[in-house]
Amino acid sequence: MSKEKVILAYSGGLDTTAIIPWLKENFDYEVICVCADVGQEIDKEDLEKRSMMSGASKLYICDLTDDFCDNYIVPCVQANAVYENKYLLGTSMARPSIAKCLVDIARKEGATAICHGCTGKGNDQIRFELGIMAFAPDLKIIAPWRMNELWGMSSRQEEIEFCKAHGIELPFSADSSYSRDANLWHISHEGLELEDPGAAPDYDHLLVMSVTPEKAPDEPEYVTMTFEKGVPKSVNDQEMKVSDIIRTLNKLGGKHGIGIIDIVENRVAGMKSRGIYETPGGTILMEAHKQLEELVIDRATYEIKNQLGAKLAQVCYEGKWFTPLTDAINAFVKSTQEYVTGTVKFKLYKGNIIKAGTESPYSLYSESLASFTTGELYDHHDAEGFIKLFGLPVKVRALVNAGQGSEN
């Protein structure tokens, strides 16, 4: 009788490597590893060797980069979805794509369970499991870090010793380092001095994609981008798919110290955590898109869109991407992008993105209306009646208050 199969979300790191023999020992599963490529650097040969040495029967490496960009990043950029006014959702946006891939492989292999290496206090356990539930509510989910009695390990040293006891000799170190998550959109950093919100980050030790603004070039660099219906199409006259646009902007942004944020955020589980996010290309893309929207979207639509963008950020952060609410928000946002077409120019200089001109065939900006002469469409005398009506509630309240004061 063949063994039941489990799909392991595999990064190749110490945690998920130790999980392979642990799953076989405690559940007698056949372990099939799935590594999701969402634009981070992957050594495929090393992953293959490491997973097989650790006892996996098979390794899938799924290239999800374009899916991640087209189906998750673009909708969030179009919505201007930013969590708690700072976090550009780099980790959050990637998780639903990965969860869907895990389910697809589980169905292909006839697996009965999916396993992940997330801790019991983080956000990713929620994002992975809600994504899995949305497509495969029948599959068992195994989270070793929440199974204290069976897992039995609480440090990197203990995991290294566990691997050695199972014949797995790999170049893992027990030395402390930052906890990082990387993909095409960003890299996050947690741990070490960042655990003290009163401590300044050691940027010289920490940064991977960027330099600090102080170390950026002394000369600004001009960049031109085009959009078509809210989707980026080119950088500096070079047309590219979205993933390549982000790669290009990452290089430009990293060079000029763009998109480094230090945030204390509220996790879904209720605790606060402090982290540093590098999102050089994403920060530029979000700002360029906003710059174009300012020109073409009317005030009332823009107001509601901003509210829904904040809600989409929360929904994405909480792992509820595959829900009717997300579909409804994305449908609204997509309708607003019909005329978000044009050219955006800006310059990058020491951490800043500085406007250098925006053009669109659908611009709602009227030079004649905006100028002091205003032209035939606007008569200054009309403002008097408008202000009287617009301010009527204020005037009525003042009269009522004045009347009450005279009675006293």
The residue to which tokens 């904040």 are assigned: 310
List the beta bridge partners of residue 358: 344
* Residue of 57, 179, 234, 363 with catalytic role: 179
Measured in degrees and rounded to the nearest 5, phi and psi for residue 286 equal -60, -45
* Residue of 15, 37, 67, 181 with catalytic role: 15
Known catalytic residue: 124? yes
Residues in the chain: 408
The residue to which tokens 């495969």 are assigned: 136
Shortest CA distance to 31 belongs to which of 134, 126, 112, 146? Answer: 112
Give the integer Cα–Cα distance in Å for 33 and 55.
Answer: 10
Q: What is the 3-state secondary structure (H, E, C) of 334-401?
A: HHHHHHCCEEEEEEEECCEEEEEEEECCCCCCCHHHHCCCCCCCCCCCHHHHHHHHHCHHHHHHHHHH
Answer for the pair 235, 251: CB distance below 8 angstroms, yes or no.
no
| pLDDT tens, the chain, 408 aa long | 789 999 999 999 999 999 999 999 999 999 999 999 999 989 999 999 999 999 999 999 999 999 999 999 999 999 999 999 999 999 999 999 999 999 999 999 999 999 999 999 999 999 999 999 999 999 999 999 999 899 999 888 999 999 999 999 888 777 768 999 999 999 999 999 999 999 999 999 999 999 999 999 999 999 999 999 999 999 999 999 999 999 999 999 999 999 999 999 999 999 999 999 999 999 999 999 999 999 999 999 999 999 999 999 999 999 999 999 999 999 999 999 999 999 999 999 999 999 999 999 999 998 766 666 656 777 888 899 999 999 999 999 999 999 876 554
CB hemisphere CA count around 102 (13 angstroms): 35
Give the integer Cα–Cα distance in Å for 353 and 214.
Answer: 15
Sheet order of strands, 342-349 included: 238-239, 231-235, 221-228, 342-349, 352-359
Known catalytic residue: 95? yes
* Residue of 37, 67, 124, 181 with catalytic role: 124
* Residue of 95, 210, 243, 360 with catalytic role: 95
Residue ranges and CATH numbers for the domains of the chain are: 5-71+87-165 (3.40.50.620), 179-297+340-359 (3.90.1260.10), 370-401 (no CATH)
